[in-house]
Structure 1
């Protein structure tokens, strides 16, 4: 969180307004990203998904499960292509929904960062079902109050399937 000295000067108010607008832009970007990653998505637009990232963005799976499963992608086009392989028809999902927690945002103009816990409920084309909780950590570039994703990192925290839910503990 950016600390701004409480002031009623025009400059102070302009800075506070810019920070509020940047925070809203970040929330909109991360929410739209999650919405576009839901399957089925009747209005899916791979170009729109790619446009949420800077040209030189990085998307990365981190941790033992996601580093191997997803790896690292550099550049808007490579990220969009990878996401499309998971989300477009013919991908691994018949249904996939994302639920994003409140998270936190830190703004240090002209950049920002945020961290969220995300739940993903999935049904795969092979019939498997899974609920995953992952930590999403994102760095943003800000152009004024407009945010774009610069670095997106996802790390699986826990995964549950009907098989391990049915097992008594």
Structure 2
């Protein structure tokens, strides 16, 4: 067992951006069991960090679960992974689905260029369904970037709007 942590130390660090997660604060975990094993124990500080792990983890279906880190008083030693105390009525947070269905659904990726890159980089073929998945991901990123630009009072999306905060 590790000694109790100092008052300024975090409970854990985000698995994606490495920002500290404080005792008693809320955080996200992936609903897929392989991300919640004791050895893996992935935790995320924000929805952006959770979203960023999806392409790497290659889950078919996943959602984020909002949990609460242990309180310093109740458990001064941080326990990894799923052994943390859960909020009453834990919340499952699905990925953002807020696009207007009337918006254009055209492919946002030039399929020929992407397929050529994949073949040159890894010698693999690419299914046509990949283009739709990439286009959906680009739409999600664009929606989040639009929200960040508007929150900053801008009408122009900048490269920094695509970075997780």
Which of the five TM-score ranges fits, normalised by the shorter chain? under 0.3
TM-score for the superposition, normalised by structure 2:
0.28
Higher strand share: 1
Higher relative contact order (CA 8 A, sep 6+): 1
